[in-house]
Structure 1
Amino acid sequence: MSRILTFVEYTLVVIALGTMSVLTFANVLSRYFLNSSISFTEEITVNLFVLLTFVGASIGVKRGAHLGFSLIHDSITGILKNFMTILVSIIMILFFSAVVYFGYDMVLSQIARNRMTPALGWPQWIFTSMMPLGAFLCIIRVIETTILSFKKDNVKAEGDTTS
C-alpha cells in the first residue's frame, strides 16, 4: 500500500509542478512577445499549487520532514515519548480531518450552486476537491508514520535490553 501511495504522490507532484512550469513559462513568453496574457494559466496554476501543497505535505509527513521541535521528543524515552507521539499524531489527524470535512463541505456547496471557474468555465469543485484529497493523504501518512515510529521504538527497546 505504501509503495502505491508513494507512487501516486510523486506522480501527482511531478504532473502538477510540470504543468505549472509549462503554463507559467508559456504565459511569460506570451506577455513578452504578444503583450497579452493567457487568461486561464493563473487559474490552473493557483489550483495546482493547492494540490502541490497538500501532496507535498503528505510526502513531508512520510519523510518526517514536517516542521517541529524535536529536541524534547528526542531527549525523552519510554511512556512519555509514546504519549508525545500519540498526542502529536492525534492533533495532526484532527487538523487534517477538519480540512477534509470543511473541504468536502465546500465541494458539495460548489456542486449545489453549480459554480464555474471564471476563465475556463469548468466546475469549481474539480479544483476544490484537491484540498480534501490532499488532506486525506496526509491523514494516511500520519497514521503510517505513527505506526512506524512505534515499531522503530520497540525494536530499539528490544535491542537495548539484549545488549
Structure 2
Amino acid sequence: MSVDRVLKRLEEWIVVLVMSIMSLIAFANILSRGLVGYSLSFTEEITINLFVFLTFVGTAIGVRQNAHLGFTLIYDRANGVFKKGITLLVGVLMGGLFLVLVYFGLQMMLYQMELGQKTPSLGWPQWLFSLAMPLGALLCLYRTVQVTIMELREESLQGGESV
C-alpha cells in the first residue's frame, strides 16, 4: 500500500472520527442540559478545538480532490504556458500560506509549552490542541505540492510536452 493511499485513508478516518466525537459530545451536552439542567462546560472546549483540526484535515482533502473554490474563467481561456504559470503561482501562494501556518503554529505551540498553559475547563496542556494547526497545515502543504505537480504534469501531457 502506497504512502499516498495510507494518508488518504488516514485523512478520511480522522474526519469520520472527529465528526463522530464532536456529535456525541454535543448530543451528550444537549441531553445533560435538557434532562438534568446541568451544562457540561468542557464539551465546548473539546468541540471547538476538534473543529480546528477537522477544518485543516477537510482542507487537505479538498485540495487533494481539487474541490477548492476557484474562479477559472482566465485559466480556462489561457494557453499552455500561461496555464502552467497560473498553476505554479497558485501552488506557490497556497504553499506559502501553509508554510506560514506551520511556522506560526509551531511557534504558538512551543510558547504554550514554555508557559505551561492549560485549557480553562479541562486543565489539559493547551499545546495538545494547538498541535492541530501545524500538523493540519503540514498535511495541507503536502497535498498542495502533490496537486500542483499533478496539474503541471497533466498540462504538459495535454500540451504535448514532457515534465
- Displacement of 1:129 after TM fit? 0.5
Counterpart amino acid of 1:87? Answer: L
Task: Give the one of 66, 72, 75 matched to 2:74.
Answer: 72
Q: 1:46 maps to which residue?
A: 48
- Displacement of 1:155 after TM fit? 2.4
Counterpart amino acid of 1:24? Answer: A
- CA distance, structure 1, for counterparts of residue 113 and residue 144 of structure 2: 30
Deviations 1:38-81 (A, max 9, x none): 12100100000000001000000011111211111122121111
- Displacement of 1:158 after TM fit? 3.1
**4+ residue runs over 3 A deviation:** none
- 1:24 matches 2:26: yes
Q: 1:136 maps to which residue?
A: 138
Tell me how many residue pairs correspond in the alignment.
159
Gaps of 5+ in 2: none
Identical positions, percent: 47
- Displacement of 1:143 after TM fit? 0.5
Counterpart amino acid of 2:81? Answer: I
- CA distance, structure 1, for counterparts of residue 75 and residue 43 of structure 2: 44
Alignment TM-score, normalising by the size of structure 2: 0.94
Task: Give the one of 7, 10, 19 matched to 2:9.
Answer: 7
- CA distance, structure 2, for counterparts of residue 10 and residue 2 of structure 1: 12
- CA distance, structure 1, for counterparts of residue 100 and residue 156 of structure 2: 31
Deviations 1:75-121 (A, max 9, x none): 21211110110001100011111111101000000000000111111
How does 1:116-131 map onto structure 2 within 5 Å? 116-131=118-133
Which SS does the other structure have where 1:120 is aligned? coil
Which SS does the other structure have where 1:132 is aligned? helix
Larger mean CA deviation between 70-79 and 39-48 belongs to 70-79
Counterpart amino acid of 1:143? Answer: V
Q: 2:109 maps to which residue?
A: 107
Which SS does the other structure have where 1:116 is aligned? coil
Task: Give the one of 132, 156, 159 matched to 1:157.
Answer: 159
- CA distance, structure 2, for counterparts of residue 67 and residue 104 of structure 1: 28
Larger mean CA deviation between 148-157 and 48-57 belongs to 148-157
- CA distance, structure 2, for counterparts of residue 71 and residue 14 of structure 1: 35
Gaps of 5+ in 1: none
- Displacement of 1:153 after TM fit? 1.6
Which SS does the other structure have where 2:160 is aligned? helix
Which SS does the other structure have where 1:56 is aligned? helix
